[in-house]
Structure 1
Amino acid sequence: MSVIGDMLSSYGGPHKVVARHLAMGPREDRALAILMAGCVLLFVSSWPYNARVAHFEGVDIGPLIGGSLFGLLFLAPLGFYLIAAIVSLVLGLFGWTGGAYASRLALFWALLASSPLILLHGLTRGFLGPGMQEQIVGLIWFVVFMWFWMSGLFQAGKDAA
């Protein structure tokens, strides 16, 4: 199935999509591509807010975009790998048998599949600024992201058992 088709399917049952990806076997190149696509969309979602800051504060947008680029495309992937490793280790202490690759895939897929809401959050933050609307959209994104991630982890533990 296509990436967009898988993303849409995730909103109906994220565990099924993660199970399908895990059934294809462990491929780190696929996991890295999923992560980088999610980080690129995070970067794109930061543009409206950076433009807002540049406009209202009268600063050049270049350094703002450059900082977002560095943070979201170079540092964030390392952070996501670290989070996935820690979660895999902690869950392994409690008997979870999914493994490190499954932990990474579940986290990375949750990021990519929830990216339409990340983009909406970026637009809300850029056009309306900080406030209640931004917090509501951010909360919706966070709940969906956690749902996708936890569903993926549960499926990975079930598949490995």
Structure 2
Amino acid sequence: MPVARDIVATYRGPRRVVRRLLEMGEREDRALVTLIAACVVVFVAQWPRLAREAHLTGQDLNPLLGGALLGWVFIAPLMLYALAFLSHGVARLVGGRGTMYGARLALFWAFLAASPLILLHGLVAGFIGPGPGLQGVGLIWCGVFLWFWISGLREAEWSSA
């Protein structure tokens, strides 16, 4: 199934999508591409906010974009790998039987599947700026991301025999 359809399907049933992705077999290249795609989308989502910040403060936009690129495409994937490792460890402590790959896939897929909301967050940050609208969209993104991640982690850790 194409990624866009999988993302839409995740909003209807995140466990089914993660189950199907896990049934495709352990492919670290697939997990890495999912993570990099999500990080690139988050980087792109930062553009409106950074453009607004550069305009309002009189800064040059390119250094701001370079910092965001470094943070989201090079450093964030390392942090997300570490977070997946920790989540797998915690799941094992409370009875999880899944694999490290399943924990990574659940986290990385949740990050990518919630990306439409992070794009909306970037647009609100760029065009409206700080305020209740930006906070609301941020809270919705956090809630949806956690829903996808916890559902996917449950599927990866407790549904595998």
Under TM normalisation by the shorter chain, which class is it?
Answer: over 0.9
- Counterpart position of 2:12: 12
* Rounded Cα–Cα distance in structure 1 between residues aligned with 2:26 and 2:137: 34
Please say if residues 39 and 73 of structure 2, whose CA atoms lie closer than 8 Å, have aligned partners that are also in contact. Answer: yes
* Rounded Cα–Cα distance in structure 2 between residues aligned with 1:105 and 1:89: 15
- Counterpart position of 1:22: 22
Letter in 2 for 1:67: G
* Rounded Cα–Cα distance in structure 1 between residues aligned with 2:137 and 2:94: 33
- Counterpart position of 2:156: 156
**Number of residues of Structure 1 aligned to a counterpart in Structure 2:** 161
Residue correspondence of structure 1 range 21-40 to structure 2 within 5 A: 21-40=21-40
Residue 101 in structure 1 maps to residue 101 in structure 2: yes
For structure 1, which segment, 22-31 or 149-158, has the greater mean C-alpha deviation from structure 2 after superposition? 149-158
Give per-residue Cα distances to partners, 1:55-92, cap 9 Å, x unaligned: 00001000000000000000000000000001101111
How far off its partner does 1:148 sit?
0.4
CA RMSD, aligned part only?
Answer: 0.7
Residue correspondence of structure 1 range 1-161 to structure 2 within 5 A: 1-161=1-161
* Rounded Cα–Cα distance in structure 2 between residues aligned with 1:101 and 1:119: 27
Unaligned runs of 5+ residues in structure 2 are none
* Rounded Cα–Cα distance in structure 2 between residues aligned with 1:125 and 1:50: 9
Unaligned runs of 5+ residues in structure 1 are none
SS of 1:59's equivalent? coil
Please say if residues 124 and 134 of structure 2, whose CA atoms lie closer than 8 Å, have aligned partners that are also in contact. Answer: yes
Q: TM-score, normalised by structure 2?
A: 0.98
SS of 2:30's equivalent? helix
How far off its partner does 1:156 sit?
1.1
